[in-house]
Amino acid sequence: MAKIAFTLYGRSYCHLCDDMLQALIALCAEQEMLEGRNLDVDADYAIEQIDVDSDPELVALYDELVPVLLGSRMGQVPVRLCHYFLDKQKVNAYLKA
């Protein structure tokens, strides 16, 4: 089970959402390599994508902000890490905390 779960709120037709997802995957892979892990086998991270257009409440929360990235650790409240673009410094700090 992943130690950190990322939730990426976005839209299927959003190029910024695609860009953030790819940047997040690359950042997680880089972190796993630094820690000597294999991202495909024993990853400490999971990424879930949610289309905001699937739920009116999500549209109300995130409509103009997508993509929005949240991070959560087991048993803790999710934290909004960034929106529009991946904030590498903030995500790295969250990973190392």
pTM: 0.88
Query: What is the architecture of the domain spanning 4-96?
Result: 3-Layer(aba) Sandwich (3.40)
- Give me the helix-helix angle, 15-34 and 88-96, nearest 10°: 40
User: What proportion of the chain, given as a percentage, has pLDDT over 90?
Assistant: 65
Q: Shortest CA distance to 68 belongs to which of 21, 9, 3, 14?
A: 9
pLDDT per residue as tens digits for the range 72-91? 998 889 999 999 999 999 99
pLDDT at 1: 46
